[in-house]
Structure 1
Amino acid sequence: MAANLTRRGFCTAMAGASAALALPVSASTPMPLTARMAKAQIAPPQYAMTDVWSYDGKIPGSTLRIPQGGRLKRRLVNDLPVPTSIHWHGIRIDNAMDGVAGLTQDAVPPGEIFDYDFTTPDAGTYWYHAHTNSMEQVARGLAGPLIVEEQEPPDVDRDEVILFDDWLLNPDTAQFSEPFNHPMMLSHAGRIGNLLGANGTYDPVLPAKRHERLRLRLINAANARILDLRLHGLKGWTIALDGMPLEKPEPVDGAITLAPAQRVDLIVDVIADTGEEAGLLHLANDDSWQVLVRMPVTGKAATHTRDAPLALPPNPRMDVPGLDTAQQLEMTMEGGAMRGLSSANYQGRDMGFRELMQKGQFWALAGQVGMTETPFAQLNMGETVRLKLMNDTVFAHAMHLHGMHFRQVRANGSLGPMRDTILSLPNQPLEIAFVAHNPGKWLFHCHMLAHAASGMNTWIEVA
């Protein structure tokens, strides 16, 4: 395993942060989005450039922006030496466009193309990433932001996307530490990097002005790292989670937890004085709060702060009715180091934990390791489902449902905000509810991508 890299050891920013790119609403030929090998100066200049896999040579991929209700057309061109595909994370789109190799499409072979073409019903902050051997391909750089803009955007001075990531690099070579499927990563918390940053830079800087109002779109694209963030020199409100607007902006008070694949939209006012530094802090391994995104304050945008922001307009189909008559399902998460499995079904046969380990499989959902020919649940179009999740492991899991959003059912029966990814903690049962309104085959998996690669994958079908 590689040694830790410190901020002192890696103190310079990586070049090549992605720029926003407006998408055409209609075009006869889809714009290409090329998955290819590239080099990025992730480490400081005295280190070698890192060999990465990228979209169009950028780490992260370009920010794709499209209006709500618009049509996204992109041609995946695979210039990698391996098959790949693209998942449009959080967008409630047609099943054939979901990008899950082996379930909704075949992986795109090297040298081949695949056209993605879908409308975007929901405004909000989303992202796109590889969904073939995701554990390795996302870690190597195949991810980028996808922003669907509201017809009536909020009153802010700037709209900024911050895509967090971490990289596990060999300090001697500045190359990715291998193998990606190391048993320790598969069976423990996942592949956690030793170099943390945002927008492709280790030391991201976002200049600001006093009393400036910003919309910050935060995306956790890390393979396994759970981020705990705190505002510094900023006053903020949460306005959306996983792309879905909150009914009322919630003042940020304390830490913001962002599990892998989750997003949060904030509106923040810069309250630090000119000459000071605002920014985002993160909770480090030594339990200290350290600067992650620096925001040096120069000049003033206004003479005073504004009133609290208004709520964003709701997206369609955000209600979850029919809880009392909903179909009820249960799913237990088992496996991993320090607890393991007594046995589970893998490839049609019951196996003990030792045999599963030998096959590189460590986790089970509802007694099943990995994908099966039949779905975990067969659902009728339009029915409401309640799914109880029980985490009998010693690790956290970021559970992601494709194709639909859900709400957590709290202990008192009330519903939480809409999400597409929820953090399940050990020995803390939780329940989610959703309406099966999108037909097709939809993946449900842990977004600690090493966990998904070693067993935590299943699927449901909406008839």
Structure 2
Amino acid sequence: MKLTRRQVLAGLVGLGVAGLGAGGVRYWLGRPENVASHDYELIAAPLDLELVPGHKTPAWAYAGQAPGLELRCRQGERLRVRFINKLEVPTTIHWHGIRLPLEMDGVPYVSQLPVLPGEYFDYDFITPDAGSYWYHPHTASSEQLGRGLVGPLIVEERESSGFAHERTLCLKSWHIDEQGAFTDFSVPREAAREGTRGRLSSINGVSLPTLELPAGQVVRLRLINVDNTITYRLNLPGAEARIYALDGNPVAPRPLGKDYWLGPGMRLDLALKVPAAGTELSLRNGPLRLATLKSLASAQAAGDWPPALPANPVAEPDLSQAETLRFNFEWAALLASPNQAGPARYWQINGQAWDIDDKACADRPIATLKKDGHYIFVLRNMAQYQHPIHLHGMTFKVLDSDRREIIPYFTDTYLLGKNETARIAFVADNPGVWMFHCHVIDHMETGLMAAISVV
């Protein structure tokens, strides 16, 4: 039986952390390389982090790290993850951006029951699309994501991408004070506006890191916004960088330009031509530094730009036969009166505010679509705040906007700007009841979510 080098190394890493009880252990050591499967055991459990030097933060983590273990498989393979809940609260895992069967989508009381403390759940699905994705709970989301329950999922292309080097960068701000104690994950005044921001920025759980990259090489940077709230205005002054994929889906390579707005839940695959050894670049959010990229001498010959990534097998919507549906994303703070029973509702879609505590809410979908039907959604933001609009279970094509020029592309999350109207289109080819919501978490939890049924 022939093993790949990666299988052997991964198996040894698993043995090195003292067996299955340590969490995050890959238990596929010994599988033949022609079996299209990667298996993981993923444990959610408390973990103390030193986010502020000298102080402990009582985080929650996947596989003993926050952000969680980077899961990887190849396009078209079956991903099998045994998820074990060692927290004291119920939780689930949603696989953000993956087109999968409803029962694997991780939404409590819609696709599965919550995984209770001490229980486990086996997630098992094919990964049809290559790209950068991530995973997180869909239960008590503001707290659970806020405490650290986020992690990257990388689906590699079937054939070599042409990138010899890559790094995954998870962007997250932490809701903590100067002593590392958690502050409120959702503040009503902020939830009714842009969302509740964290105080301490981080990349892969480290504030203001220095990331070492090989000089002269073209490195693929997989940037994943796992934040509850913040839209990052990413920029790399003085760098040669090109965009290769948006939210997991390839695009024709083009320069990064001045900046790119990456909303919560969104991903950006950049190719960076690393400058001469000893050079430092600043990865920034607007004017604020997020990380220093430092080039180190490399014995390899200088790399060249790889070719465009192959397109994912997403059905092309036929606009000539598509039915048009309209969705207004509205501010509705008047619904949140002091005498209101249940959760606050500051936001609504087409006059309907989602009740995060109503287990039957998904039984009243905002729209019912015909399976394999072609649809255009007109998304209208009637507020002064941005909304990254995310659709579960399917991939849509962004067509155009009344606020900016759009080169049409496929995605699962679109950053709808203030007072913007945009059109998206897709083929409703995945039956089920799918969540359609803003990925600013406390917007979602205060009304800005709906169910879309495909039958």
Partner of 1:347: none
CA positional deviation for 1:22? 6.7
- Partner SS state of residue 88, structure 2: coil
Question: Given the alignment of the two structures, is residue 394 of structure 1 paired with residue 384 of structure 2, yes or no?
Answer: yes
Match of 2:64, as an amino acid? Answer: G
Change (3 A) 1:77 1:29: farther
Change (3 A) 1:27 1:267: closer
Question: Given the alignment of the two structures, is residue 33 of structure 1 paired with residue 42 of structure 2, yes or no?
Answer: yes
Match of 1:462, as an amino acid? Answer: V
CA contact (8 A) 1:23 1:66 kept: no
Instruction: Map 1:445-460 to 2 at 5 A.
Output: 445-460=437-452
CA positional deviation for 1:29? 12
Question: Given the alignment of the two structures, is residue 231 of structure 1 paired with residue 236 of structure 2, yes or no?
Answer: yes
Change (3 A) 1:29 1:429: closer
Match of 2:83, as an amino acid? Answer: L
- Partner SS state of residue 320, structure 2: coil
Partner of 2:108: 101
Partner of 2:354: 370
- Partner SS state of residue 368, structure 1: coil
1:322-347 CA distance string (max 9 Å, x none): 212211111111126xxx34xxxxxx
Displaced runs of 4 or more, over 3 A: 19-31, 300-305, 351-359, 411-415
Out of 210, 223, 226, the position equivalent to 1:221 is 226
- CA–CA distance in 2 between the matches of 1:233 and 1:21? 40
- CA–CA distance in 2 between the matches of 1:361 and 1:323? 35
- CA–CA distance in 1 between the matches of 2:303 and 2:64? 40
Change (3 A) 1:411 1:41: closer
Partner of 2:212: 207
Moved more, 136-145 or 181-190: 181-190
CA contact (8 A) 1:37 1:80 kept: yes
1:156-202 CA distance string (max 9 Å, x none): 2311100100001121x311103x34212321211211110110101
Change (3 A) 1:215 1:20: farther
Match of 2:322, as an amino acid? Answer: A
CA positional deviation for 1:30? 5.9
1:50-87 CA distance string (max 9 Å, x none): 00011122111010010111111111111111110000
Change (3 A) 1:156 1:352: closer
CA contact (8 A) 2:37 2:79 kept: no
- Partner SS state of residue 152, structure 2: strand
Question: Which TM-score applies when normalising by structure 1?
Answer: 0.85
Match of 2:409, as an amino acid? Answer: P
- Partner SS state of residue 451, structure 1: helix
- CA–CA distance in 1 between the matches of 2:447 and 2:187? 15
Change (3 A) 1:442 1:223: same
CA contact (8 A) 2:24 2:43 kept: no
CA positional deviation for 1:358? 7.7
Partner of 2:279: 276
CA contact (8 A) 1:166 1:222 kept: yes
Change (3 A) 1:356 1:310: farther
Partner of 1:312: 309
- CA–CA distance in 1 between the matches of 2:338 and 2:271? 49
CA contact (8 A) 2:366 2:450 kept: yes
Partner of 2:51: 42
Match of 2:348, as an amino acid? Answer: A
Stretches of structure 2 lacking an aligned partner (at least 5 in a row): 1-22, 356-360
CA contact (8 A) 1:92 1:404 kept: yes
CA contact (8 A) 2:105 2:111 kept: yes
Match of 2:316, as an amino acid? Answer: D
Change (3 A) 1:222 1:403: same
User: What is the RMSD computed on CA atoms of the aligned residues?
Assistant: 2.5
Match of 1:37, as an amino acid? Answer: P
Change (3 A) 1:299 1:226: same
- Partner SS state of residue 293, structure 1: strand
1:346-377 CA distance string (max 9 Å, x none): xxxxx676655984221111110105322111
- CA–CA distance in 2 between the matches of 1:356 and 1:229? 40
- CA–CA distance in 2 between the matches of 1:181 and 1:282? 22
Match of 1:365, as an amino acid? Answer: I
Change (3 A) 1:28 1:358: closer
- CA–CA distance in 2 between the matches of 1:245 and 1:270? 21
CA positional deviation for 1:415? 6.3
1:28-61 CA distance string (max 9 Å, x none): 99642111111011111x3x21000111221110
CA contact (8 A) 1:20 1:65 kept: no
Partner of 1:170: 177
Out of 333, 336, 360, the position equivalent to 2:344 is 360
Question: Given the alignment of the two structures, is residue 71 of structure 1 paired with residue 78 of structure 2, yes or no?
Answer: yes
Change (3 A) 1:23 1:146: farther
Higher relative contact order (CA 8 A, sep 6+): 1
CA contact (8 A) 1:23 1:65 kept: no
Partner of 1:297: 295
Give identity over the alignment, percent: 37
Aligned length: 421
Change (3 A) 1:175 1:436: same
Partner of 2:125: 118
Change (3 A) 1:357 1:259: farther
Moved more, 135-144 or 293-302: 293-302
- CA–CA distance in 2 between the matches of 1:454 and 1:43? 30
- CA–CA distance in 2 between the matches of 1:456 and 1:220? 19
Out of 161, 166, 187, the position equivalent to 2:168 is 161
- Partner SS state of residue 435, structure 2: strand
CA positional deviation for 1:410? 1.4
- CA–CA distance in 2 between the matches of 1:152 and 1:56? 29
- CA–CA distance in 1 between the matches of 2:311 and 2:366? 31
CA contact (8 A) 2:314 2:395 kept: no
Stretches of structure 1 lacking an aligned partner (at least 5 in a row): 1-18, 284-288, 342-350
Partner of 1:331: 327
- CA–CA distance in 2 between the matches of 1:359 and 1:166? 25
